[in-house]
């Protein structure tokens, strides 16, 4: 009862046992474990040397229990509702994607086939990623031979309409945007063992670089980390801001932090198959068409027309799809203009490569480079290896006149040096050792790391410091859910620094990367494959060691300035090989487009005639998507959120677009389910991204037994060889 008595009892119960038992029982256990395998030792040895490096394991069977997932096969799997419920099958979504590409614009049709494997009525909820620039403008629901077209509504109204129809037993579909690149489709009143198709269409611009066009389509999402509650962020921010700096009202509770995440399947189980078809009209002669992520079957139709599909007809949705085509030297046009009519006028999408001057600085400007490495749990596995390799490569490229620092973050942030240090051989050696010792675990509290990286350096070098270039290279999978908050921090704290996000893993959050690069006035790089690290990091380095094009202005000849509405209003800085891409709406057709700017302090200008414009479909949608994005970004710069919301709703309704504030909803008027029959709501589980390893639960196994067995087997083999040798 009293402290003393209980303490004494503790000693009685625990201490006596402590010295009698555990050591010997541990040893016994260990010996038993070793003996159990001794018979198959040689086999184990030869088998395991090959797999010891962490080859995927088949998921072992959990303890026998009613309905345990023993018979799980691909396409049908088991999961638990609640911790105590029995295992059961879950709905599946099969996806077919068709891309029709003309020039730099892709029209995609994504068909999701919902399958209900259960004997009850369900509502299926499927969370899926789309490219960050995707403008979803079409929804069709197909049940049997009935086809229902989706209507655009304000988000809240769409949800009410969906829920009413669901309650009345009508088949209905709702497509909502959760994040710029994360969507949800919900299908209600899917009957027992029934199937239903949801067809979504969207428009997308492709990524361009000198001589190459790239299409990226995300098929997986990395589980996003939802950071600690906002109050702690407020605290953290005020701590970090230092003396005399008032933290702006950026950290106010933000409803954007709510995020619906699907259940993720164990890494060994794959579901939700995808098939992909690409019809390409490049508009120039193509030298090669390749994919770094999937094996393709390519059928050329002419010098610039191709059809491609996945070699394996279906692939699991566990990694992003990427396809790129290269132009024959000199045939890729330096500018392209696609135009079409839409509500309120004529629209155009303009892509223009500024003339490339001298590729690199004649005089090397000293740089201060801060590397920030995400070592959160979601990076475990292949991602962590990619990140380490990328950092080590980057460190070795530093010049003696440069200075650098290394920051690691997961739940906490720690930096190698208190502030950037000269890139001396000694410091470089320490940095490489530090990078190689990194291991992934814990949460993704990115805010503190960003603040640390962007913090102004102490004025140690005095005047000359302002001449150097500050660059922050940020390696992450972007598995965060507080994007908006982070963007605000980047915007507010950037100063002289430039932020270069590097996307790592098989399913990085591309929306976060591209916007972080935009707010950070840098450029983004994606590394999808560990073998591509060297190539892609070298490309990034060439870019950031070259002069930047800044103060870019887009204007039109032949019409008054107010007759054209260009988005984004202010073009971002451009790095080597990057084009200017803008959307425009005209009341009158201009004669030419003019781009001006400065390169390394020197002005430049380039002009493209408008008559080369080609007509295309859905150009207004691309323009509206750009305008919406710019308007939403404006909130970070102090625009009134309510006014922005109203504008976004109006744009969404006019252009039939799914946005943050508008959704597409389809309702079949005939009820299929009677009121007495119940309906359950189920999330469709999704695959863990390919190559990912650990989750939030600690990694808790050692290779001790494996090592001992390998040792025993090798010793035995040595003995056998020795004997054999003596007999010769």
Residue 561: cis peptide before it, omega within 30 degrees of 0? no
Q: How many CB atoms lie within 10 A of CB 213?
A: 25
**CA 635 – CA 515 distance, rounded (Å):** 14
C-alpha–C-alpha distance, residues 512 and 89, integer Å = 34
CB of 119 to another protein, least distance (A): 26
In angstroms, give the least distance from the CB of 693 to another protein: 6
Question: Residue 119 or 702: which CB sits closer to another protein?
Answer: 702
Q: Are strands 296-300 and 367-374 parallel, antiparallel or unpaired?
A: unpaired
Q: What residues contact residue 710 under an 8 Å CB cut-off, 6+ apart?
A: 45, 48, 49, 52
Of residues 266 and 345, the one with the C-beta less far from another protein: 266
Shortest separation between residue 727's beta carbon and another protein, angstroms: 9
Task: Determine phi and psi for 615, rounding to 5 degrees.
Answer: -85, 145
Q: Which is nearer to another protein, 266 or 568 (CB)?
A: 266
- The vertex-59 CA angle with 81 and 75, nearest 5°, equals 65
| Nearest CB to another protein, comparing residues 23 and 429 | 23
| 203, two tokens | 């428009």
Residue 52's CB is within 10 A of a number of other CB atoms, namely 12
Element (H, E) at 156: helix 155-167
Q: Which of 176, 143, 145 is nearest to 162 (CA)?
A: 176
| Least distance (Å) between residue 7 CB and another protein | 5
Nearer residue to another protein within complex by CB, 89 or 596:
89
- Closest distance between another protein and the C-beta of residue 283, in Å? 44
Residues 644 and 642: their CA atoms lie apart, in Å, by 5
Measured from the CB atom, the residue of 245 and 260 that comes closer to another protein is 260
User: Minimum CB separation from another protein for residue 560, in Å?
Assistant: 57
DSSP output for 192-242? TT-EEEEEEEEEEEPEEETTEEEEEE----PPPB-PSPHHHHHHHHHHHT-
Tokens of 453: 């990286």
Minimum Å gap between C-beta 697 and another protein is 5
Least separation in angstroms between residue 441's CB and another protein is 6
Nearest distance from C-beta of residue 256 to another protein, angstroms: 20
Q: Which is nearer to another protein, 362 or 702 (CB)?
A: 702
Residue 206's Cβ-count burial label (10 Å; 0-12, 13-18, 19+) is buried
Structure tokens at 556: 């039109």
Shortest Cβ distance from residue 716 to another protein (Å)? 8
Cβ pair 110, 99 in contact under 8 A: no
Written as six digits, the tokens of 371 are 């590397």
Nearer to another protein, 672 or 712 (CB): 712
Residue pair 566/584 in contact by the 8 Å Cβ criterion: yes
Residue 224 or 656 with smaller CB distance to another protein: 224
Minimum Å distance from CB 320 to another protein? 19
Q: Are 526 and 474 in contact (CB under 8 A)?
A: no
Contacts within 8 Å (CB) and 24+ apart, 155-161: 155/660, 155/661, 155/662, 155/663, 158/662, 158/663, 158/664, 158/665, 159/663, 161/665, 161/667
CA–CA dist 406, 421 (Å, integer): 10
Tell me the closest approach of the beta carbon of residue 132 to another protein, in angstroms: 24
Q: How far is the CB of 504 from another protein (least distance, A)?
A: 19
Q: Is the backbone of residue 360 left (phi > 0), alpha (psi -120 to 50) or beta?
A: beta
Q: In the complex with another protein, which residue's Cβ is closer, 57 or 531? A: 57
- Report the distance separating Cα 256 and Cα 265, nearest Å: 25
Paired strand residues for 527? 504
């Amino acid at each position: 009862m009293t402290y003393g008595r209980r303490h004494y009892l503790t000693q009685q119960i625990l201490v006596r046992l402590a010295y009698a038992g555990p050591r010997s029982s541990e040893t016994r256990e260990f010996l038993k474990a070793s003996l159990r395998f001794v018979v198959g030792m040689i086999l184990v040895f030869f088998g395991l040397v090959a797999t010891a490096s962490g080859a995927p394991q088949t998921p072992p069977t959990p303890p026998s229990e009613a309905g345990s997932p023993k018979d799980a096969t691909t396409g049908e799997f088991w999961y638990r509702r609640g911790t105590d419920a029995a295992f059961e099958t879950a709905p599946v979504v099969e996806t077919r994607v068709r891309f029709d590409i003309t020039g730099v614009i892709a029209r995609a049709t994504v068909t999701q086939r919902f399958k209900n494997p259960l004997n009850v009525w369900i509502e299926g909820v499927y969370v899926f990623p789309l490219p960050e620039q995707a403008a979803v403008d079409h929804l069709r629901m197909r049940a049997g031979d009935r086809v229902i077209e989706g209507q655009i509504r304000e988000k809240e109204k769409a949800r009410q309409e969906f829920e009413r129809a669901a309650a009345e037993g009508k088949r209905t579909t709702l497509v909502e945007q959760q994040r710029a690149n994360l969507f949800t489709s919900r299908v209600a009143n899917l009957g027992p063992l029934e199937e239903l198709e949801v067809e979504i269409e969207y428009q997308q611009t492709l990524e361009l670089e000198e001589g190459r066009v790239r299409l990226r389509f995300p098929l997986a999402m990395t589980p996003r980390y939802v950071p600690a509650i906002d109050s702690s962020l407020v605290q953290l921010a005020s701590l970090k801001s230092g003396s005399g700096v008032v933290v702006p009202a950026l950290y106010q509770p933000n409803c954007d932090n709510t995020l619906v995440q699907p259940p993720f399947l164990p890494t060994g189980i794959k579901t939700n198959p995808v098939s992909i078809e690409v019809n390409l009209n490049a508009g120039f002669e193509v030298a090669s068409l390749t994919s770094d992520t999937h094996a393709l079957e390519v059928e050329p139709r002419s010098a610039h027309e191709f059809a491609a599909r996945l070699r394996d007809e279906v692939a699991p949705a566990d990694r992003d799809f990427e396809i790129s085509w290269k132009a024959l030297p000199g045939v890729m046009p330096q500018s392209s203009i696609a135009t079409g009519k839409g509500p309120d006028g004529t629209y155009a999408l303009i892509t223009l490569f500024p003339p490339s001057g001298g590729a690199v600085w004649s005089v090397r400007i000293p740089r201060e480079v801060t590397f920030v490495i995400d070592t959160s749990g979601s990076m475990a596995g292949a991602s962590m290896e990619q990140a380490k390799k990328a950092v080590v490569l980057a460190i070795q490229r530093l010049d003696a006149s440069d200075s650098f620092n290394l920051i690691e973050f997961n739940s906490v942030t720690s930096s190698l040096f208190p502030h950037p240090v000269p890139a001396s051989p000694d410091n470089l050696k320490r940095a490489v050792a530090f990078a190689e010792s990194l291991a992934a675990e814990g949460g993704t509290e990115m805010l503190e790391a960003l603040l640390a990286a962007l913090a102004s350096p102490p004025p140690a070098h005095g005047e000359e410091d302002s001449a150097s270039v500050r660059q922050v290279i940020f390696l992450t999978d972007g598995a965060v859910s507080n994007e908006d908050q982070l963007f605000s921090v980047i915007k507010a704290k950037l100063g002289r620094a430039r932020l270069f996000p590097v996307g790592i893993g098989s399913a990085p959050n591309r929306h976060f990367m591209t916007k972080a690069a935009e707010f950070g006035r840098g450029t983004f790089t994606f590394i999808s494959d560990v073998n591509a690290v060297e190539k892609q990091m070298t490309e990034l380095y060439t870019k950031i060691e070259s002069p930047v094009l800044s103060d870019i202005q887009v204007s039109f000849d032949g019409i008054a300035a107010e007759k054209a509405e260009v988005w984004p209003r202010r073009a971002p800085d451009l790095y080597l090989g990057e084009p200017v891409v803008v959307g425009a709406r005209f009341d009158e057709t201009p004669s030419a487009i003019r781009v001006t700017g400065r390169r390394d302090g020197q002005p430049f200008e380039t002009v493209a005639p408008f008559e080369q414009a080609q007509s295309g479909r859905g150009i207004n949608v691309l323009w509206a998507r750009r305008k919406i994005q710019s308007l939403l970004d404006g909130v970070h710069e102090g625009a009134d959120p309510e006014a922005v919301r109203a504008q976004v709703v109006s744009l969404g309704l006019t252009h039939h677009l799914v946005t943050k504030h508008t959704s597409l909803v389809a309702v079949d008027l005939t009820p299929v389910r009677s009121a007495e029959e119940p309906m359950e709501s189920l999330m469709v589980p999704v695959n863990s991204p390919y190559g990912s390893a650990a989750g939030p639960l600690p990694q808790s196994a050692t290779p001790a037994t494996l090592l001992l067995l390998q040792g025993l087997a090798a010793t035995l083999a040595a003995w056998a060889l020795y004997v054999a040798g003596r007999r010769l």
